[in-house]
Structure 1
Amino acid sequence: MLVVDDMPVNIKLLRELLKESYSVSFATDGHMALSLAESFTPDLVLLDISMPEMDGYEVCRRLKDNPATRSIPVVFLTAQSDETNELEGLSLGAIDYITKPFSPPIVLARVKNHIEFAQAKNRLNEAYTLLDLKNQELDDKNRALEVLLQTDRLTRLHNRHKLDEAFQAEVQRARRYATQFSVILLDVDSFKTVNDTFGHLVGDSVLVQVADILSANVREMDMVGRWGGEEFLLLCPETGLDTAGELASRLRSVLACAPLPPVERVTASFGVAAYHPGDDVACMLRRADDALYRAKASGRNRVEIAPPPGLTSPGE
């Protein structure tokens, strides 16, 4: 604790009274008291009121104005017993007011109570701080888990679960606001041959490289994810069928030209479908999947556009 008093006799008396139970520092004026309080943050300050240059009220006021010392409890020690003086001291933030001449047992009892209360408060604050840290750590872990639950482990793209949620949300948004919305479904051509020829580890590497190419070439507004196996799905908000078809054609070309070692060349087939009033997720997926099937049946490495509901593509 810190004892602040300009009278040597009081300092001597308090030293003898407190030294057996507490580590005590002393200051004989307000400036020294403020400096010591900030340097080691005592658990309690016993503060005389009547001091030259800076009285105890001003010391208390400055302690409470300083964020570094604001929480230190202050007990006034004074010969002034006027109720107005006591009220002023308490209004400045002091927690107690002991009048001189004081009774040593009373001083010891009050100091003990205040020290124990201050230490309990500090322990509580430390517990709250630790709890905040634990909560922050838990929040971080929950966010990481949420990302993990929405991420394909191999490609690090969005997984089927996340795509399902986003797909449904985009369909609902298109219904509500009559906005355009398209979907692109693509499948890596002859992927079984890749696995059979080079092995599944190379096959996994090819899928990762395809995922990276798709991520690097879609628009910022698009969502790309792994739909399953060697299939990928792109959700294209605010996008009509023509624009989605152009995007699919560009992705097809980029994939066909990209080196994917150790496989010399990998292509993909694309099916593109746009939202029409009355559509749901299943309807759009069925049309995109039918268009993808036609692209495969027509020789692969091509883009097929799904006709509106109720219409058939040429040749059907």
Structure 2
Amino acid sequence: MTQRKNLPQGLRGLRTMHILVAEDDRFAREQLSLLLSRFAGRVSTAADGMEGLDAFKYDRPDIVITDINMPRLSGLDMAQAIKAMDPSVPVILVTAHSDAKFFLRSIDIGIDGYVIKPVDADSLLKLLAKQAAVLLEARAAEARAGMFRFILDINPNFILTLGGESLDYVNRTFLDFLGATDLAALRGGHHAGRVLELDGRAFDPADLAWTKLLDQREGRTHQAVFAPPPASGERERTFLVSAVGFPELDRTIITFTDITPLAEERRILRIRAATDALTGIANRAGLAEALEREFHRGQRHAATLSVIIFDIDHFKNVNDAYGHPAGDAVLAELTRLVATHVRDHDTFGRYGGEEFLIIAPQTGVAEATLLAERLRADVARHRFPAVGSLTCSFGIAADGPGDNPDSLVARADAALYDAKQGGRDRVVAR
């Protein structure tokens, strides 16, 4: 072995390395071990390829240096087996061979370097320093990646990345929420059964078809809802979803930000805005929204829509004689009475003052009239606390050609006026 000359600065990186030397020549093996032990953190040796392969399996050294011609298992065969187990482990051949077949096979195996016998110490150390630098950089990159994964995994937002069209990362927060043990389980569709609703469509979260709906332009977001697993007793969760593409990396990062409290607050505010505070049923705004929805649904499905509008006869006398608190009690009691008659798909609300409205989908004039007559009779029979008997008048209209929601209510209101003019406590249809 030739003498060492100027040593590269990178040799400091060898201090953390474990090097395995496989050499059947005892003297050469000891010389290499003696040289390397001055720079490497640890050096182990093997007398042939089989012993070297066993040592690799047991100890997993960082770098392998091997002779080629050895008993039981050649250096190339050992290197091939090592590369099959871990392609990232550098393997350096110490050889006197120079024929083309040897080099072609070593290229196929993925040999990382060559040192020609007799071994020049400087050449070997420079090669080792280079491989150590690559390993240290890879370890540093892995450590940085681990640190970023840790940061992402403890992030309360859900974060996932797509490589092309495949899922290649999901943070721990998202996996735990979905009930998936790991990324492989999620890819296989093994999770707790939550359903993702995005832009009005339902998806299995593991089915990446939903990602194609995401707008990757800056500032664009989507609202998504995760339905709870079956029989879990959980409530649905609402998220703001954004996607950012990195074309140069062929990567897309998708984030889910939980806005459930905000969405719930908005839902409650919408309900309050559409609910009558006294009676707890829909107010005029809520009725207008429901009427618009049901009118257009009826138009799409060619189904008749009827509205029933009614009010309490001589209600002003109730307020004048018994006071407004008694009048409010009558309105609340009337609401409870009427609510027992309306169907699940009907909408019942307070139109204003003592006036009420029932929106009855898939209902013609005849059926609406029967319902109104039952209500009229029940109200007339009912005894209201502190007030006694009351009556109501009813106006009915069913949608027809040229109608819109406003004209439909206007015709029902005109029918109510006719009922009042006709003596009250009656039902009139137009």
Q: Which TM-score tier does this pair reach, normalised by the shorter chain?
A: 0.5 to 0.7
Please tell me whether residue 255 in structure 1 is matched to residue 283 in structure 2.
no
Matches within 5 A, 1:20-169: 50=57, 78=61, 81=64, 85=82, 88-89=85-86, 117-127=145-155, 128=157, 134-169=258-293
Q: Distance in 2 between matches of 1:271 and 1:160?
A: 17
Deviations 1:67-97, CA, capped at 9 Å, x for gaps: xxxxxxxxxx54674586466458xxxxx87
Q: Distance in 2 between matches of 1:219 and 1:117?
A: 59
- Check the 8 A contact 1:78/1:98 in 2, yes or no: no
Give the secondary-structure state (helix, strand or coil) at the position aligned to 1:185: strand
Which of 320, 340, 349 aligns to 1:225? It is: 349
**TM-score, normalisation: structure 1:** 0.59
Shift of 1:112: 7.6
AA partner of residue 199 (structure 1): G
Shift of 1:268: 1.6
Report the CA distance shift for 1:142/1:282 in structure 2 as closer, same or farther (over 3 A). Answer: closer
Deviations 1:52-71, CA, capped at 9 Å, x for gaps: xxxx9xxxxxxxxxxxxxxx
Structure 1 unpaired stretches of 5+: 1-16, 18-47, 57-76, 91-95, 100-105, 307-316
- Check the 8 A contact 2:345/2:360 in 1, yes or no: yes
Please tell me whether residue 267 in structure 1 is matched to residue 391 in structure 2.
yes
Shift of 1:229: 1.3
Report the CA distance shift for 1:158/1:110 in structure 2 as closer, same or farther (over 3 A). Answer: same
Which of 189, 205, 209 aligns to 2:333? It is: 209
| Structure 2 partner of 1:189 | 313
RMSD: 3.7
Shift of 1:237: 1.2
Q: Distance in 2 between matches of 1:274 and 1:191?
A: 27
- Check the 8 A contact 2:62/2:89 in 1, yes or no: no
Q: Distance in 2 between matches of 1:97 and 1:208?
A: 81
| Structure 2 partner of 1:170 | 294
Please tell me whether residue 299 in structure 1 is matched to residue 423 in structure 2.
yes
Deviations 1:26-45, CA, capped at 9 Å, x for gaps: xxxxxxxxxxxxxxxxxxxx
AA partner of residue 167 (structure 1): L
Deviations 1:243-265, CA, capped at 9 Å, x for gaps: 10000011112223334323323
Q: Distance in 2 between matches of 1:253 and 1:97?
A: 91
Aligned length: 230
Report the CA distance shift for 1:240/1:49 in structure 2 as closer, same or farther (over 3 A). Answer: farther
AA partner of residue 364 (structure 2): G
Q: Larger % of helix: which?
A: 1
Deviations 1:293-316, CA, capped at 9 Å, x for gaps: 12223332221222xxxxxxxxxx
Structure 2 unpaired stretches of 5+: 1-40, 42-54, 65-78, 92-133, 159-172, 174-238, 240-255
Deviations 1:94-149, CA, capped at 9 Å, x for gaps: xx8799xxxxxx99998787566434423323321588574222222232232223
Give the secondary-structure state (helix, strand or coil) at the position aligned to 2:351: strand
Q: Distance in 1 between matches of 2:347 and 2:90?
A: 71
Shift of 1:185: 0.3
Report the CA distance shift for 1:179/1:109 in structure 2 as closer, same or farther (over 3 A). Answer: closer
Shift of 1:241: 0.7
Report the CA distance shift for 1:121/1:286 in structure 2 as closer, same or farther (over 3 A). Answer: same
- Check the 8 A contact 2:379/2:391 in 1, yes or no: yes
Which of 244, 256, 260 aligns to 2:368? It is: 244
Shift of 1:184: 0.3
Report the CA distance shift for 1:166/1:112 in structure 2 as closer, same or farther (over 3 A). Answer: same
Report the CA distance shift for 1:87/1:238 in structure 2 as closer, same or farther (over 3 A). Answer: same
Q: Distance in 2 between matches of 1:230 and 1:201?
A: 13
Q: Which has the larger radius of gyration?
A: 2
Report the CA distance shift for 1:215/1:122 in structure 2 as closer, same or farther (over 3 A). Answer: farther
Q: Distance in 1 between matches of 2:399 and 2:277?
A: 30
Q: Distance in 1 between matches of 2:84 and 2:325?
A: 80
Q: Distance in 1 between matches of 2:342 and 2:294?
A: 17
Q: Distance in 2 between matches of 1:249 and 1:298?
A: 16
- Check the 8 A contact 1:224/1:234 in 2, yes or no: yes
Give the secondary-structure state (helix, strand or coil) at the position aligned to 2:280: coil
Report the CA distance shift for 1:108/1:248 in structure 2 as closer, same or farther (over 3 A). Answer: same
Shift of 1:192: 1.9
Shift of 1:161: 1.9
AA partner of residue 140 (structure 1): E
Shift of 1:186: 0.6
Give the secondary-structure state (helix, strand or coil) at the position aligned to 1:154: coil
Please, which moves more after superposition, 112-121 or 133-142?
A: 112-121
Report the CA distance shift for 1:86/1:286 in structure 2 as closer, same or farther (over 3 A). Answer: same
Report the CA distance shift for 1:150/1:87 in structure 2 as closer, same or farther (over 3 A). Answer: farther
Give the secondary-structure state (helix, strand or coil) at the position aligned to 1:217: coil
Q: Larger % of strand: which?
A: 2
Shift of 1:269: 1.2
Q: Distance in 1 between matches of 2:135 and 2:332?
A: 75
Shift of 1:222: 1.3
Give the secondary-structure state (helix, strand or coil) at the position aligned to 1:182: strand
